């Protein structure tokens, strides 16, 4: 019998949403189209049109010793070219953002190669070779995992994901990198991810309707879908915590695991 990959248990909406984002066979819905030039400006690593900086020669020009693993693994484009490693960091509101930080980690690692990612309280950083990062950043700014009100692009001072939403439904940002455009009824960025002012405003579109974003959010909340209402998820989480505790402190109590 061939192995069938498993992603996440449960039949509740958040459980189904978690399976969708983790499964690389599922094409995530594109909700907006932010120009690549604007994506580059938002990250702030280089100027649009500027050459990529390198940290080593292109692989085919190098003189690395023979390695069987290198023959098995196809390098990503940035690695082939010798690009430096850069990052983008998303902050996800606890108020029903499309995804939460640690689910971003599951999603990135399930869908992409050549990346490094780390989770903190309200944010998720992803590091990868620069030209690959720009394509990846545009994909995740354009698609359903990003909401202009509930997801922020923040490379520094990321706190605020747990603060209440403002009168326009926007998540708090201490640096006010993005603001509400009252005329267009959409969110625009006036600073890049490390809060340096932009020459021009960059639109990331209108926020989703809260009822819609609640329906497709991966977040369990007592005022939305309570994890305890999904028995399969509850048992899964209980088992993970039990095994982690026993494995760390009483491994002799493991039986048949």
Per-chain mean pLDDT for the chain: 94
Count of CA atoms in the C-beta half-sphere (13 A) of 202: 27
Q: Which residues contact 162 (CB under 8 A, 6 or more apart)?
A: 93, 94, 121, 122
Distance in angstroms (rounded) separating the CA atoms of residues 253 and 257: 10
Distance in angstroms (rounded) separating the CA atoms of residues 5 and 171: 35
Quote the Cα angle for 156-157-160, to 5°: 135
Distance in angstroms (rounded) separating the CA atoms of residues 149 and 255: 47
Quote the Cα angle for 33-201-152, to 5°: 65
The predicted pLDDT at position 3 comes to 86
Assign 238 to helix, strand or coil: helix
pLDDT in tens, 104-114: 999 999 999 99
pLDDT in tens, 233-254: 999 989 888 888 888 888 887 7
Residue among 14, 12, 191 at smallest CA distance from 97: 14
Cross-strand partners of 178: 189
Q: Is the pLDDT score of 257 beyond 70?
A: no
Could you tell me which CATH number the domain at 13-223 has? 3.90.320.20
Distance in angstroms (rounded) separating the CA atoms of residues 192 and 202: 9
Q: Is the pLDDT score of 136 beyond 90?
A: yes
Domain extents in the chain: 13-223, 226-257
Q: Is the pLDDT score of 194 beyond 90?
A: yes
Lowest mean pLDDT among 21-30, 68-77, 211-220: 68-77
Distance in angstroms (rounded) separating the CA atoms of residues 150 and 204: 12
244: left (phi over 0), alpha (psi -120 to 50) or beta: alpha
Tokens of 173: 């940002």
75 Cα distance to chain centroid: 22
Tokens of 137: 């950043």
Residue among 12, 20, 19 at smallest CA distance from 220: 12
pLDDT in tens, 15-69: 999 999 999 999 999 999 999 999 999 999 999 999 999 999 998 887 888 889 8
Tokens of 209: 């309707």
């Amino acid at each position: 019998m061939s192995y069938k990959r498993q992603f996440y248990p449960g039949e509740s909406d958040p459980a189904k949403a978690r399976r969708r984002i983790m499964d690389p066979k599922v094409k995530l819905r594109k909700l907006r189209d932010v120009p690549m030039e604007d994506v580059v400006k938002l990250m702030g690593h280089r100027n649009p049109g500027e050459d990529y900086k390198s940290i080593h020669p292109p692989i085919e020009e190098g003189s690395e010793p023979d390695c069987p693993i290198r023959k098995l693994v196809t390098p990503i484009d940035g690695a082939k070219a010798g690009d430096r490693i850069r990052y983008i960091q998303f902050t996800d509101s606890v108020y029903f953002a499309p995804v939460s930080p640690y689910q971003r980690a599951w999603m990135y690692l399930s869908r992409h190669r050549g990346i490094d990612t780390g989770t903190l309280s309200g944010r998720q950083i992803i590091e990868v070779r620069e030209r690959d990062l720009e394509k990846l950043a545009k994909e995740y700014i354009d698609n359903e995992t990003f909401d202009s009100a509930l997801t922020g692009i923040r490379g520094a001072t990321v706190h605020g994901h747990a603060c209440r939403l403002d009168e326009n439904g926007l998540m708090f940002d201490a640096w006010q990198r993005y603001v509400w455009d009252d005329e267009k009824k959409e969110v625009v960025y006036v600073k890049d991810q490390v809060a340096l002012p932009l020459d021009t405003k960059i639109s990331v579109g209108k926020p989703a309707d809260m009822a819609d974003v609640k329906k497709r959010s991966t977040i369990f909340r007592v005022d939305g879908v309570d994890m305890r209402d999904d028995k399969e998820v509850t048992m899964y989480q209980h088992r993970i915590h039990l095994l982690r505790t026993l494995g760390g402190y009483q491994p002799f109590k493991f039986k048949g695991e």
